[in-house]
Amino acid sequence: MEIIIMKELLEANDKLAKENRAYFAARHILAVNIMGAPGSGKTTLISALAQELEDIRIGVIEGDIESSIDADNLERQGIRAVQINTCGECHLDAHVIKKGADYLDMSNAIVFIENVGNLICPAEFDLGEAVRLLAASVPEGDDKPFKYVPMFSYIDAVALTKCDLKEAVGFDSKNFLKGLRTLSQAPVFETSLKTGAQVRGVNAVANYLRQKYEELGKL
């Protein structure tokens, strides 16, 4: 019985995700679903990308089980954001994304969706996004692609965040890539965004997204 309920839930979500995809396309919006573990650097990355892509309109749909800390932080930086609280749910779904997008009411924009910090459930819920970007942080360890197979199979690109900590935590890049490449050919962008230190790698992620955004116009 449980299996049937879950299947119905996912089918209903997929239908709404399809509608979201059409909504984003009609408004010339590149929707980017940013997933990753809690604390992997998702908000920090969004903030840095917004600076790097300053010539493009940016909106953010923030997902957390509670609080509006991330949306408040982004708004303080002048980035248009809306907070969604899932009240305990471990992922965002297509239904709440439509609500967030309606609130932002944007067009000709890149809309970042910061998913709930979790390496499992978000990989089951299509949101209608165009790009799935995983923020995988160095301190989580190089073995994560071997352990979280659905997530590492689901994504289009990886931002390997907190690379300034590689040496400190003994991160083995070769092992990380070995695990990832059995599942996906997703490009990997190494970033270091430590507060007060030199920012590295965010321009490559921004260029990747800029290209995706420019490709929208050619469809």
Ligand X SMILES: Nc1nc2c(ncn2[C@@H]2O[C@H](COP(=O)(O)OP(=O)(O)O)[C@@H](O)[C@H]2O)c(=O)[nH]1
Site residues for ligand X per CB under 6 A: 36, 38-44, 117, 135, 161-162, 164-165, 191-195
Using the rule CB under 5 A, which residue among 16, 37, 60, 70 binds Mg ion?
70
> 117 or 179: whose CB is closer to ligand X?
117
43 binds Mg ion (CB under 5 A): yes
Strand partners, 112: 32, 60
If binding is defined by CB under 5 A, does position 47 make contact with Mg ion? no
Q: Which of residues 33 and 44 has its CB atom nearest to ligand X in the complex?
A: 44
Nearer to ligand X, 184 or 191 (CB): 191
What is the length of the chain?
219
Rounded CA-CA distance 116/122 in Å is 7
Q: What contacts 24+ positions apart, CB below 8 Å, involve 50-56?
A: 50/74, 50/77, 50/79, 50/112, 52/202, 52/203, 52/205, 52/206, 53/110, 53/206, 53/209, 53/210, 56/109, 56/110, 56/210, 56/213
Over the window 101 to 140, marking each residue x when it contacts Mg ion by CB under 5 A and - when it does not, the resulting string is: ----------------------------------------
Q: How far is the CB of 176 from Mg ion (least distance, A)?
A: 22
Partner from Mg ion, ligand X, none contacting 195, C-beta within 5 to 8 A by type: ligand X
Cβ atoms 20, 128 nearer than 8 A: yes
Chain position whose Cβ is nearest to Mg ion? 43
Given Mg ion, ligand X, none, residue 165, with its beta carbon under 5 to 8 Å by kind, binds: ligand X
If you search the block for the tokens 């692609």, which residue do you land on? 145
For the bound state, the minimum distance from the C-beta of residue 147 to ligand X, rounded and expressed in Å, comes to: 18
Which residues would be at the binding site for Mg ion (CB under 5 A)? 42-43, 70
